[in-house]
Amino acid sequence: MSEEAVSRGLRLVGGGLIVLELAIQQAGFGVSSRVDPLAAALWMSIFGSVLLVGYVLLVEYVRGKGSLGITEFGAEMWVPIVRTAFSNGVIGVAYVIAVAKLGLGVTAAIVALGPLSVGFWGILKSLKDEQRSRRVWAWEQLALRVAAFGGVVMVNQPWHWLDDFSAATLIGLVAAVASAVCFWNYIVCVFGKMDETKTKGGLAVANVLSVPLTVFAVWLTGKFMGGGLQVAFSKDVIVTGVIAGVLAITVPAILQDWATGKVSDRVTGVLYLLDSPIAAFIGVAGVFFGLLSDNQAAGLWVWGGIAIVVLAALRVTLKGDQPKSVIASA
C-alpha cells in the first residue's frame, strides 16, 4: 500500500472521528436546550471538564503515569492551552447570546466563517505560487470552501431570521463574530499547535482553566439577559448539565484527541462545517420519531445545502494538505 493511500485512510478515519464528535456534541446541545441556556453552559463546563480530567487521569494511570502530564508542558504547549481555555469560555456564552439576539440561522452562518478561515491565508498566498501544482491545489481549496459556506447558508437560511436591525442585533453580531474567531482559534490550537502526544492532558487543563471564565461570563450575562446563576441550582438544571457536559464536552474532547495527527487543522476547519447538516439530520430524525415539531423538517434548500457541504468536506478530507510544500496553516 502506497504512502498516499495510508495517509488518505488516516484522514478518513480522522474525519469520521470529527463527524462523530459533532454528532454527539449536537445531541448534548439538544439536551441542554431543555433548560436555561446560560445555566446549562455553566454546568456543562463544570461537569464536562471534571469528567474529562477523570478520564485522562484514568488512562494515564493505566499507562503507569497517573497525571495530566503538566510538568512536561513547555511554553509551546501552554500558549495553545491558554488560548483554548479562553475560546471555550467565550464560545460557551457568546454563542448563546448570538442565538438569542439573531436566531440560529444567522448565528450559524456567521460562526461558520471561523472554521472556514483556518489556514485560509496560506491558501490565498498559494494562489500566486510559481509552481502550478500549488496553484491548482489552492484554487480547488478556495472553491470548496466557498461551496461549503454556501451550503451552510442554504441549510440555515439566515434571511428567515433577520428582519430588522437594532441594538440587540448589533450585540448579537458582535457575539457571533466573537464565537467565529474563537472557533478558528480553537481548531488552530488543538489540531495545529498542541503536541499531538499531549493533547488529552492539554484539553483537560484547558477545559478546567475555562471554568472560572465561564462562571464569570454566565454571572455577568445573566444580569442583562436573565437566567444564568439565578436558575442554575435546580435539580433539573444540574442533572441536565451533567448529561449535556458528557455529550458536549467530555466525549468530543476524547474524540478530538483520537483525531489529532490524522487530519490537519485546515481540513478540520472544513469538517466543522458539517455541524449544520448534522443538526438538520437530527431535526429530521426528531420529526420522524415524533420527538420534534414539524417545523424542524428539512425542505429542498436544506437538503441541497447538506449535499454541498458533505461533498465539499469529503473532497477536502480526501485531498488533504497537498502539496506538502504548501504554506502552513495560519
pLDDT in tens, 153-165: 888 777 766 666 6
The answer to whether 184 and 118 are in contact (CB under 8 A) is yes
Residue 89 covered by a domain = yes
Residue 330 covered by a domain = no
Residue 51 pLDDT level (bands cut at 50, 70, 90): very high
In this predicted structure, the answer to whether residue 246 has a pLDDT above a threshold of 80 is yes
> How far apart (Å, rounded) are the C-alpha atoms in residues 16 and 218?
33
Number of alpha helices (DSSP H) and beta strands (DSSP E) in the chain: 14, 0
Cell of 120: 485560509
Cell of 154: 442554504
Residue 175 covered by a domain = yes
How high does pLDDT run on average in the chain?
Answer: 83
Q: What are phi and psi of 260, to 5 degrees?
A: -60, 140
In this predicted structure, the answer to whether residue 46 has a pLDDT above a threshold of 80 is yes
For residue 220, give Cα distances in angstroms to 48, 216, 225, 228, 286.
21, 6, 9, 9, 34
pLDDT of residue 291: 59
The answer to whether 248 and 30 are in contact (CB under 8 A) is no
The answer to whether 274 and 310 are in contact (CB under 8 A) is yes
Residue 29 covered by a domain = yes
Residue 326 covered by a domain = no
> How far apart (Å, rounded) are the C-alpha atoms in residues 162 and 238?
33
Task: Write out the DSSP string of 216-274.
Answer: HHHHHHHHHHS-GGGSTTSHHHHHHHHHHHIIIIIHHHHHHHHHBTTB-HHHHHHHGGG
**Stronger pLDDT, 156 or 256, i.e. the higher one:** 256
Which residue from 87, 102, 74, 69 is spatially nearest to 210, judged by alpha carbons? 87
Residue 327 covered by a domain = no
What is the residue whose three cell numbers read 454563542? 95
The parent domain of residue 109 ranges over 3-319
The answer to whether 95 and 182 are in contact (CB under 8 A) is no
Residue 325 covered by a domain = no
Beta bridge partners of 260: 263
Residue 200 covered by a domain = yes
Q: Render pLDDT for 199-218 as a digit per residue (tens, 0 to 9).
A: 888 899 999 999 998 898 88
pLDDT of residue 278: 80
Cell of 314: 469529503
The answer to whether 60 and 197 are in contact (CB under 8 A) is no
For the chain, the domain total comes to 1
